[in-house]
Structure 1
Amino acid sequence: MVSLQTVQQSNARLASLPKGLVALFIGATSGIGQSALQHFAQHASAPRIYSVARPATVVSHESLLNSLRQSNPTGTYNLITADVSLVSEIDKVVDAVAQKETKLDILFMSAGFMAFEGRRDTREGLDPSMSTRYYSRLYAVQRLLPLLDNAGVSSPRVVSVLAGGIEGPLNERDLDLRDPAKWSIWNSSVHATTMGTLALERLARENPRLSIVHWYPGPVATPGLAKAAQFGMSPPNPMSMEETGARALFLATNDRYAVQPGGLVSVPEGLEVAKRSGGGIFLVDPLGEETNNESLLADLRARGVDEAVWRFTQRVFATCVTHERDGLEKEPRS
């Protein structure tokens, strides 16, 4: 395990790095993402931060950003209004960043929820719990690749917070779980996790400079966990949001999780660069150690399931974008 003291010492060294790291947070209006955002704003020197909030949370999130402006006035804090349960809304996010930036150093994604009330599809025809945890995240990475490729660090970083390392079998004939008999809270979570790892691995192979971390943080004392308790889910000893945010920043900025050295903060003494999965990404447990799920993932790759997942995902992206464009064209003009 990586001790919390090591994590904190590494994070403190961010202040000595060159100014102007650019980071985008998707899912930082509460929970793990919010804590990660706060830790990044606390330690980075003159950071340029972009954060996404759906309309219902804009006021509260703007209040948080105002507090960060006061605590670190050297930073730039930009709020983007978008609902990432809709894949097409990611285009708003990308456009907002691209209008102001030529590079992106860190992409941190933690949006998501468990659909305890059952599946209620969005206007794009997708399960929103899967959209936030899989489709929108992968569409964001795909669309942001040009900015990530221009990163000022040697190895730009993508962190996806879900369940890296505990992937499970897929329903390969129904990847979106449209059959009501196949959909469940657990199955949607497994699909989002496993498809996420396979798709992120594919992007890593195509973009060898890109460092991708798929993190399983374990139980964390977030509002989401409090809601889960109402449905009988009360895991023991959840990690505090404060510690989880610190560990999240460590994953996003320490070279232990970089494919090329010299990216951000050097690897702490006594630790080595983490090992990657067979597909080329870092699958990390709650305390910062790599996990090994090759018995499952190697079989999926060998059978071409990763390519099937990616082809299916591209069709979903195309359908969502076309649906949104057609909807805009049908709107009456003033």
Structure 2
Amino acid sequence: MVSLQTVRKSNAHIAALPQGLVAVFIGATSGIGQSALQHFSRHASSPHIYSVARATSDASHEKLLATVRQSNPTGTYNLITADVSLVSEIDKVVKAITQTESKVDIVFMSAGFMAFEGRQNTSEGLDPSMTTRYYSRMRAVQQLLPLLNKAESPRIVSVLAGGMEGPLNESDLDLRDLPNWSFWNSSVHSATMGTLVLERFARQNPRLSIVHWFPGPVDTPGLARARRFGMSPPTQRSQEEAGERAVFLATNDRFAVQGGLVPMQEGLEAARRSGGGIYLVDPLGESTDNEGLLSGLRKRGVDEAVWGFTESVFADCAARAGAGSSKDEL
């Protein structure tokens, strides 16, 4: 277990990193992502921060960014209006970043929700709970790879369920057949497909460090929503602590394939990577393992099948966007 004291000591050293770290937050309008953005901006020296919000959340998120500007006026804080339940909107996000930045150091992805009300497809024909947790995240990574590879020590953190992957319905990966869909199945597919594709990105980009974190129950608006639908989560970690731990995962060299950010403190050891080359991390910052499942999927080429299917989804979403169907969905 990595103690909260160790996390805080590590985060305090972010101030000593080079100025101008570029961080992209997808999912920071509430919950863990919001707390991570606040803690990172508090410590970083002259950071360039990009955060994504739907049009309906612009005003409240701009208020948050205004408080962040006050706490660290040396940084630049950019709000990009986009609906990440639509894959095609991610291209708009990336375009806005590439127009002003020559590199990206950190991509932090925590957008998502559980569709307790049932599957309600977006205009792209996809389940938005899977789009926010899988398709749009993978599209962001794919499109930002050129900028990530120009950073000294690029890092990706995806907050979902690293180490909690499960079997896939390989004949219906997007669970389009309604008998195959449930809010739980969509969660398992998002996490498992996410790990397989992130591993693929890691193998093809050996300088890129990727963390897939399972934060456990955290006292966020999403958890409050789950209670309204009859779920009874166990004791939760505070959103504040989860944000601090998220920043630790995004900046400490314990989770780096090569150094370049905050050096490991005394007593810490380098985290162990999965067989596919990414860091699967438990709620308290320790490496976890799911090779019993993942190694079999890799051996059968399921990772390549998932990526091929995902590319076809991306192509279809781009075609739909070209036909003018994009709109705010959630």
The two structures have a TM-score, normalised by structure 1, of: 0.97
Runs of 4+ in 1 over 3 A off after TM superposition: none
Give the corresponding residue for 2:252.
Answer: 254
User: Is 1:324 matched up with 2:321?
Assistant: yes
Whole-angstrom CA distance in 2 between matches of 1:242 and 1:167: 26
- Residues 277-329 of structure 1: CA distance to partner in whole angstroms, max 9, x if unpaired? 00000000000001010000000001110010000000000110111012279
- C-alpha separation between the residues in 2 aligned to 1:76 and 1:246? 21
Provide the secondary structure at the position in 2 that maps to 1:20.
Answer: coil
Look up the match of 2:286.
289
2:100 equivalent to 1:103? no
Shift of 1:18: 1.1
Aligned residue number for residue 187 of structure 1: 185
- Give, in whole Å, the separation in 1 of the partners of 2:18 and 2:209: 20
Q: 1:271 aligns with which of 265, 268, 272?
A: 268
Q: Distance in 2 between matches of 1:237 and 1:38?
A: 24
SS at match of 2:258: coil
Report the count of equivalent residues: 326
Counterpart position of 2:137: 137
Q: Which residue of 2 aligns with 1:158?
A: 156
Find the residue that maps to 1:158 and give its secondary structure. Answer: strand
1:241 corresponds to: 239
CA distance in 2, matches of 1:192, 1:226: 21
- Preserved CA contact (<8 Å) 2:123 2:325: no
CA distance in 2, matches of 1:186, 1:36: 26
Give the secondary-structure state (helix, strand or coil) at the position aligned to 1:107: strand
Gaps of 5+ in 2: none
- Partner AA of 1:96 in structure 2: A
- How many Å apart are 1:177 and its aligned residue? 0.3
CA deviations over 1:50-95 (Å, ceiling 9, x no partner): 0000011000000000011111100100000000000000011001
**What corresponds to 2:299 in structure 1?**
302
Residue matched to 2:117: 117
Q: Deviations over 1:83-136 (max 9, x none)?
A: 000000001100111111000000000000000110000000000000000000
Whole-angstrom CA distance in 2 between matches of 1:71 and 1:177: 44
Q: Contact 2:87–2:139 at 8 Å: present in 1 too?
A: yes
Between the two proteins, what is the percent identity of the paired residues?
A: 73
Q: Which runs of 5+ in 1 are unaligned?
A: 330-334
Corresponding residue for residue 221 of structure 1: 219
Q: Tell me the equivalent position of 2:170.
A: 172
1:214-236 C-alpha deviation (Å, 9 max, x unpaired): 00000000000001001111212
1:332 corresponds to which residue?
Answer: none
TM-score by length of 2: 0.98
The residue type paired with residue 9 of structure 1 is: K
Matches of 1:237 and 1:227 in 2, distance apart? 16
Matched, 1:90 2:115: no
